[in-house]
Chains A and B, each alone.
Chain A
Amino acid sequence: DAGVIQSPRHEVTEMGQEVTLRCKPISGHDYLFWYRQTMMRGLELLIYFNNNVPIDDSGMPEDRFSAKMPNASFSTLKIQPSEPRDSAVYFCASSPQSTGNTIYFGEGSWLTVV
């Protein structure tokens, strides 16, 4: 099993630029999550999908953030325009409904906005 695949692994961008993070969940998983990790705030849930439908986006910090899941094998998290305070590690994770809450994380996308 390939696990959750995220890209890019590292990105450095200038303030004001658009950033797109990509995720391929584990095949067959019903849930997909986007988390953000910072030293100050720890692991924060941004948004999650069930069967490609966004269920809860209350963790999305502001309108500059958007997430889509056009099909069961692909999701994007977009930041436009990016700001230095968006610098963080962004994790995508997926979960099969059958296991009751076990979440499998990708290796993360390290974003630096300068």
Chain B
Amino acid sequence: QQQVKQSPQSLIVQKGGISIINCAYENTAFDYFPWYQQFPGKGPALLIAIRPDVSEKKEGRFTISFNKSAKQFSLHIMDSQPGDSATYFCAASIPWNAGNMLTFGGGTRLMVKP
């Protein structure tokens, strides 16, 4: 039972373009929504995260947009670079003191063409 649905599965963007990856969740108890970035041969690493009390969080070229009523959140990568080519996972978690587990989306393989 997949609680976090991620789309698209793969994405090709030209250098300088905007990459957009979307996620939808079902469990309204989720209160923490991170994005992880994974390069080939490496483990996923935290990229950026948001809590539902804000609608947007920006760190450099990376922005999370969060829509609580629609139960959706998305990652925007501005001015995409070839070095951003990686697999991106969204995730969601219930409050840590109720069980510290992340539920991951299926992943999006991003390729940024030079």
Which residues of A are in contact with B by a Cβ distance under 8 Å?
4, 31, 33, 42-43, 45, 48, 50, 55-56, 91, 93, 95, 97, 100-108
A106 interface neighbour in B36, B43, B106, Cβ under 8 Å: B43
Q: Mark B31-44, 1 if CB is under 8 A from A, else 0.
A: 01010100001111
CB distance from B59 to the nearest CB of A (A): 14
CB distance from A44 to the nearest CB of B (A): 8
CB distance from A76 to the nearest CB of B (A): 18
The yes or no answer to B89 lying at the interface (CB within 8 A) is yes
Name the residue among A50, A95, A103, A108 with the largest chain B CB count within 10 angstroms: A103
Report A-chain residues with C-beta under 8 Å of the C-beta of B104.
Answer: 42-43
A107 touches B100 (CB 8 A): no
Residue in chain B with minimal CB distance to A9: B41
Name the residue among A43, A56, A95 with the largest chain B CB count within 10 angstroms: A43
A107 touches B43 (CB 8 A): yes
B106 touches A42 (CB 8 A): yes
CB distance from B2 to the nearest CB of A (A): 9
**SS class, residues of chain A in contact with chain B:** strand
How many of chain B's residues have a CB under 8 angstroms from any CB in A? 23
Which residues of B are in contact with A by a Cβ distance under 8 Å?
32, 34, 36, 41-46, 49, 89, 93, 95-96, 99-107
Q: What would 8 more interface pairs be, CB under 8 Å, given A100-B32, A102-B34, A108-B42?
A: A43-B104, A50-B100, A91-B44, A100-B96, A101-B34, A106-B43, A107-B41, A107-B42
B99 touches A105 (CB 8 A): no
Residue in chain A with minimal CB distance to B107: A42
Query: How far, in whole Å, are A101 and B32 apart by their CA atoms in the complex?
Result: 8
Report B-chain residues with C-beta under 8 Å of the C-beta of A97.
Answer: 96, 100
